[in-house]
Amino acid sequence: MIERILKSAFILSLISIGVKLLGPAKNILIADTFGISRKLDAYFIAQNFIDVITAVFTFTIVILAVPAFIEETVNAMGNGDRSKSAFDSFLLQNIILSVIFTLLFFALSRPLSQVIPGFSEGEAQAQLANLLALLSLTLLLAIPSAVLTGYFNSRSQVVLPSSLMVIPIFTVILSILFLSGLLDIYTIPSGFILGYFLVSVILFLLYRKKLGGFSFTIKDFTIVGKIKGLIIPTMIFAAGGHINLLVDQLFTSRIKDGGVSILTYAQFFIMIPFTIITLPLLTAVFPEMSKAHTLEGKRSLEELTSKAFLVLTALMLPVVLAVAFFRVPLIDLFYNHGNFDSRSVAETASVLMAYTPAIFFLSLSSLLQRVFFTKKAMFSLMILTLFSIAMNIGLDIYLSSKFSIVGIALATSVNDILYFSILLFILNKRYEFNIFLGGKTHIFRIFFCASFTALTFLFVKQMVPLSALSSKLQVLLHLALYLTAGVSVFLVSLRILFKVNILEFVRGKNG
């Protein structure tokens, strides 16, 4: 099982790397074209409003639909028409839902723009309202696409939907390159809408081919019946992270013009490792966790989760150290173009430093959340999400008053650490779930190896210093040298302590 998971995760990671290679190109184009500006702040805030809504529905649908689709497939074994009717009805029900919410959000775009702090001026407020209205169209596409993604994931086809996510990034890049002079800031959402439209069409055509057509019926509520008791808690949980991000942006927008842009540029380096490392592993392991819990029980779920926890820790620690040590050259390499100057590099690097703990604890928390999903303990996650939102608001108020924009990022890191600790405590005390099935010694070994990596980064950085006047090529070569040295020491020390490489240890140690 673990080999199949790691293989799927590796393929997804390669896809994510391809997506993220386009991601920097997109961000560089955005930074070069729009710099740090109020209209870009308006776009980021409008996008996050939409992200909150789409996250509520798409994440909820995928998380709940995957086990529901699996269960329905098993129950309808030998009766393909029954399962097809359930799937088709669920898809059409969500298409209707997406139309309703698109129209509703479109109507609310102007009232929302009038209550967001920092956008009281006529032009800025009008831009924000227009961006909210335009981005509302993504709801029309995202909700049905989530149903289709859940269907394919339930059949262990996790690679297919992920591979299509390169399309929206590619269309945004093309849109900025060829339409920015005509559409200005509206270039970015226009590119995203086109991309997600293409993704939706492709997924639907593949779904029709897989099931031999599509029936326009909404009368079958089999899937809704399986998940209806979990919908509200899951929706609240799904919105939590995006609400926290939106709160961060609203507080930041009151600090200075361009502050939201700085925050967003720094957040990009949180999402790179999450998207390339964490998300592929979680996407591959979640269906297997559900199957292990359903078919073999708690012990099997503990074994699988402890393996994933060990692998994720070993993968994320050197990444966190690299971002912390080399945040300035990373920001300089990615963003120091056009309207993004050296002062912006320094500001963004300071914010990124405050975010580094969040890179690690966000990933580990995301894995622990999958245990709650498999146990259908969504009410516990809902309560914890509400607590996290309240805690984030309090931390934002206090830390931003002390450290300005850096305080907003620091609040996120503190919140993520506390959230992870509470998740771990609840799993251990309430559910008697042991995440350290192989013993905590293995985790301590990984942290011990990470300390050698940190010393290596310090040593190499001092021995081969990077000048502030270095060219982009020199920055890239120095980073390659630093990372190669640090990661090599980490892998060698892991092999010495574990006797074999970490993946072989996981496979061999736990079967």
pLDDT of residue 9: 62
Per-residue pLDDT of the chain (511 residues; tens, 9 = 90+): 556 666 666 666 666 666 655 666 677 777 777 777 777 888 888 887 787 777 777 878 877 877 778 777 767 665 556 788 888 898 899 899 889 989 998 998 888 888 777 676 777 788 888 888 888 898 888 889 988 888 887 776 777 777 787 788 888 888 888 887 788 888 888 988 999 899 999 999 999 888 888 888 888 888 888 888 888 888 888 878 878 888 898 899 888 878 888 898 888 888 888 888 888 888 888 877 877 777 777 888 888 888 889 989 999 999 999 999 999 888 888 877 667 777 888 889 999 999 999 999 999 999 999 999 888 888 899 999 999 999 999 999 999 999 999 999 999 999 999 999 999 999 988 888 988 876 678 889 999 999 999 999 999 989 988 876 667 888 889 999 999 999 999 999 988 888 766 666 666 644 3
Contact 364, 313 (CB under 8 A): yes
What is the amino acid identity at position 403?
F
Alpha helices in 375-471 (DSSP H): 378-403, 405-429, 441-463
Alpha carbons 141 and 145: distance in angstroms, whole number: 6
pLDDT of residue 403: 92
Predicted TM-score (pTM) of this structure: 0.73
173, 186, 280, 478 from 330: Cα distances, Å? 21, 28, 23, 11
Alpha carbons 350 and 105: distance in angstroms, whole number: 36
pLDDT of residue 419: 95
pLDDT of residue 363: 94
pLDDT of residue 426: 93
Instruction: For residue 219, give the 3-state DSSP assignment.
Output: coil
Domain definitions of the chain by residue range: 37-243
pLDDT of residue 441: 86
86, 291, 306, 493 from 83: Cα distances, Å? 5, 19, 34, 51
Contact 132, 159 (CB under 8 A): no
Instruction: For residue 211, give the 3-state DSSP assignment.
Output: helix
Residue 398: other Cβ atoms inside 10 A? 12
Contact 196, 142 (CB under 8 A): yes
96, 322, 497 from 501: Cα distances, Å? 50, 21, 9
Instruction: For residue 357, give the 3-state DSSP assignment.
Output: helix
Alpha helices in 254-326 (DSSP H): 259-273, 279-295, 298-325
pLDDT of residue 21: 59
pLDDT of residue 346: 87
Alpha carbons 170 and 179: distance in angstroms, whole number: 14
pLDDT of residue 511: 38
Residue 190's contacts (CB-CB under 8 Å, 6 or more residues apart) are 134, 175, 179, 183
